[in-house]
Amino acid sequence: MFRDDNDKSGNLAYSRIVQRRADYHNEMGDPKKANEELRDLATNLAERGANPSVVNRYRQMCGMPAAPGPSVPAQPAAQARKPARRGRKPARTKRPRKRG
């Protein structure tokens, strides 16, 4: 049903079904069949115009090389984090009192 439908709105449901099937094949001790399922999924999603990063994720899951194309450079972990909240003043530190 989802495999033959070229509507992008079905891609998410289709990928979940195939992922579940691949998981079952792995659990039954048949990783070769699981990889076939994921390879077919990557191919079908690419033909349907799915996001290239999603297609590459499934390609890598089954051991295929990532498809060439525009890629977004990975950010270092420090840059990938959200910035600190703005608008808050830093905590005040107490100064020692002068006695005199």
pLDDT digits (tens, 9 = 90+) for 56-69: 888 888 888 777 65
- The values of phi and psi at residue 17, to 5°, are -65, -45
Query: Within a domain: residue 87?
Result: no
Q: In the prediction, which pLDDT does 48 show?
A: 86
Q: Are 23 and 61 in contact (CB under 8 A)?
A: no
In a domain, 76, yes or no: no
Q: Which domain holds residue 52?
A: 8-69
The share of the chain scoring above pLDDT 70, in percent, equals 68
Domain total of the chain? 1
Position 13 pLDDT exceeds 70: yes
Asked if residue 45 belongs to a domain, the reply is yes
pTM summary value: 0.58
Residue 80 belongs to some domain of the structure: no
Q: Which residues, 6 or more positions from 51, have their beta carbon under 8 angstroms from its beta carbon?
A: none
Q: What per-residue confidence (pLDDT) applies to 83?
A: 55
How high is the pLDDT of residue 96?
A: 72
Domain contains 96: no
Query: What is the mean pLDDT of the segment spanning 57-85?
Result: 62
Residue 81 lies in a domain: no
Which pLDDT score is estimated for 74?
43
Cβ(48)–Cβ(8) below 8 Å:
yes
